[in-house]
Structures are given as structure tokens and as C-alpha cells.
Amino acid sequence: MAWVYVSNLTQQGGSVLTMQTAGESFDAIVFGEKAPGKWMAGSENFHRTQLQQAANPAEEADPGPWSRWPLPMVGER
């Protein structure tokens, strides 16, 4: 779970929470990396990332307020 303060809704590729193994595998809550203004669950080389994000809702909060973002994990991670 991450509490997030987005100061600029046009920023891209910022992770607010990342979990990484001892190797190179990671999962993260990322803003605007593949689709501007949208949150996504990111991963190394997009291995576990939803590639088509057009249906994901855009962030609607005004820049500034704190938001809470959970990242549910399934499996061995």
C-alpha cells in the first residue's frame, strides 16, 4: 500500500512503491509510464505489465491531495 502525492499529472514513469527480488525482477506501482496520466502495475521489461492500458481510468485527482494505492499480489511474490 502506498500513500501518494502527485504534484504533476503530466509526469511519466515514476514509481511510488517497488518490490524487487535479489535479482532483477521487480513489481511496482507506476504513474504514466505506458499511458500518460494513468496508474499501472509495472514490472521489469513489462513481463507482468498490462500492455494495453486504454481502458484504464485516468487519474482525476487535482495535483496535491494524498491518494492511497494498493497493489494486490498473487502467487509467490
What are the tens digits of pLDDT across the range 27-54?
Answer: 888 888 888 888 888 899 988 888 888 8
- Contact residues for 33 (Cβ-Cβ < 8 A; gap 6+): 12, 13, 40, 42
pTM here is 0.72
Contact 53, 34 (CB under 8 A): yes
Task: Give the mean pLDDT of the chain.
Answer: 81
